[in-house]
């Protein structure tokens, strides 16, 4: 990534010093063919490059730079008359950029669709192109030859137009709103869960209190029972109702007679 950034910075430094169209065209050709450069919007924003846009002779090269910044190989084939002729290296580069754009929308891409979009006639050529992109580290994934599809794990980003920025902002705004809705739903669920938890805690506390009171009641009953069991036999007898007693003289007297 650092090497690529350095390469772009070097080209940008050169571009800022240009003051003739021929040199600008030569630099554009180098930039679009460079295997290290996949971002072109910085060049399009340069004042001198902007002058090429309305130049009848060199406007094609400015549009070519726009194509590599935002377009695809299908765009090139559709409006080929608007651009200068591409050499083999430039075609390969544009096809790689097209794969990146497609991968940004679909993580599983059929060989058939790729062949249609890249105007490639056979699977072997397509797979070779994808493998080159793997080695360039602009996409990562695997080729599923059983299902005839590319499974994308990673793809680098491309330049975006002002319209695409608005679309991205709209998507992000929608995502943020959905996050707010989800957050509120989670907060309600947390509140309900905390309320249920508190009810369970209160219920357990009531049960623990009832159990404690029951234990105290049982302890009191056991203490009363133990107190009765510890009374002496004589005391138990004295608690009984005392009956009449016969004296030695044959007289009957109460137990309390003197």
Domain ranges of the chain: 1-70, 88-158, 162-222
Q: What is the DSSP string of 117-154?
A: HHT---HHHHHHHHHHHHHTTSEEEEEETTTTEEEEEE
Q: What contacts 77, CB < 8 A, 6 or more positions away? A: 119
The model's confidence at residue 207, banded by pLDDT at 50, 70 and 90, is very high
Q: Going by DSSP bridges, is the β-strand pair 108-110/149-155 parallel, antiparallel, or unpaired?
A: antiparallel
pLDDT number for residue 66: 95
pLDDT band at 196 (very low <50, low <70, confident <90, very high): very high
Q: 95-99, long-range: CB within 8 Å, 24+ apart, which pairs?
A: 95/120, 95/129, 96/129, 96/132, 96/133, 96/136, 96/138, 97/38, 97/68, 97/72, 97/158, 98/72, 98/73, 98/74, 99/129, 99/130, 99/133, 99/139, 99/150, 99/155
- Summarize the confidence of residues 133-162 as an average pLDDT: 94
- Given a cut of 70, is residue 32 above it in pLDDT? yes
Q: Is the full-model pTM beyond 0.85?
A: no
User: What's the pLDDT at 240?
Assistant: 52
pLDDT digits (tens, 9 = 90+) for 63-96: 999 999 999 999 999 999 999 999 999 999 999 9
Q: Which of 112, 120, 111, 104 is nearest to 152 (CA)?
A: 104
| Secondary structure element (H or E) that encloses residue 252, with its range | strand 252-253
What pLDDT does 245 receive?
A: 54
Q: Under 8 Å CB-to-CB from 29, ≥6 apart: which residues?
A: 90
CATH class of 88-158: mainly alpha
pLDDT of 149: 97
The answer, yes or no, to whether residue 206 has pLDDT greater than 70, is yes
CA-nearest of 108, 132, 104 to 120 is 132
Q: Which band of pLDDT confidence, cut at 50, 70 and 90, is reported for residue 110?
A: very high
């Amino acid at each position: 990534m650092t090497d690529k950034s350095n390469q772009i910075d070097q080209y940008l430094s050169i571009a800022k010093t240009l003051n003739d169209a021929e040199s600008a065209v030569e630099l554009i050709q180098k930039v679009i063919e460079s295997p290290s450069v996949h971002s072109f919007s910085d060049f399009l924003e340069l004042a001198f490059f902007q002058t090429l846009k309305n130049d009848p002779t060199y406007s094609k090269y400015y549009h070519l730079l726009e194509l590599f910044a935002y377009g695809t190989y299908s765009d090139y084939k559709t409006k080929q008359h608007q651009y200068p002729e591409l050499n083999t290296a430039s075609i390969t580069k544009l096809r790689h950029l097209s794969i990146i754009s497609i991968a940004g929308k679909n993580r599983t891409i059929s060989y058939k669709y790729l062949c249609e979009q890249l105007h490639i006639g056979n699977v072997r050529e397509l797979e070779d192109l994808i493998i080159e992109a793997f080695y360039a580290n602009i996409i990562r994934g695997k080729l599923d030859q059983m299902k005839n599809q590319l499974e994308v794990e990673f793809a680098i980003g491309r330049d975006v137009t002002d319209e695409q920025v608005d679309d991205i902002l709209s998507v992000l705004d929608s995502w943020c709103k959905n996050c707010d809705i989800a957050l509120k739903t989670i907060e309600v669920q947390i509140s309900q869960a905390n309320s249920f938890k508190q009810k369970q805690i209160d219920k357990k506390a009531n049960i623990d209190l009832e159990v404690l009171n029951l234990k105290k009641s049982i302890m009191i009953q056991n203490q009363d029972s133990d107190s009765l069991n510890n009374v002496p036999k004589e005391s138990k007898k004295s608690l009984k109702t005392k009956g009449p007693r016969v004296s030695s003289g044959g007289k009957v007297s109460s137990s309390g007679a003197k």
